[in-house]
Amino acid sequence: MGKDREVPKTVWKGRMMKTIEIKHPPQYKEQPSGLLLNDPRLKGFVEGYAYALQDMILRLTGDDTCGKVYDPMTITDKMHSYAFNMKDGGRHHPLGDYEDVGEIVHILLEEAVDWIYEDYLNE
């Protein structure tokens, strides 16, 4: 499978800057994003992951990032999301724009971390 994907992230904690490492399970690193159309378990995982992150943002900050807490991401022929901007900042995200499921999970987590740190912990 390979090593965990490590992504350094610099965040503010109090008045100090701190770099944290965000690790993702290696099994997603090798799954092409196109599999989301054919594998309902993988599709359910990504939709559930987005839902869990949206729920965490709501519980920690009280912010409903999109007015659609109940449906932060739906995957059909592409990803549809009101809660996450992904790479293009729009609402419809072609699966072909993403190398693998690991990249999608990474972007979702980065956006959630940014939302929480910028809008909640840095007040």
Q: What is the pLDDT of residues 101-120, one digit of tens each?
A: 888 999 999 999 988 887 66
* Cβ-contact 29, 5 below 8 angstroms: yes
Q: Looking up tokens 């940014």, which residue turns up?
A: 114
Is 80 among the domain residues? yes
Q: pLDDT (tens digit, 9 = 90+) per residue, 21-36?
A: 655 555 666 677 777 7
Is 96 among the domain residues? yes
Length of the chain: 123
State which residues form the domain around 110: 32-121
Is 47 among the domain residues? yes
Token output for 109? 């987590």
Element (H, E) at 58: helix 40-61
d(Cα 38, Cα 41) in Å, to the nearest integer?
Answer: 9
Residue 26: the pLDDT is: 55
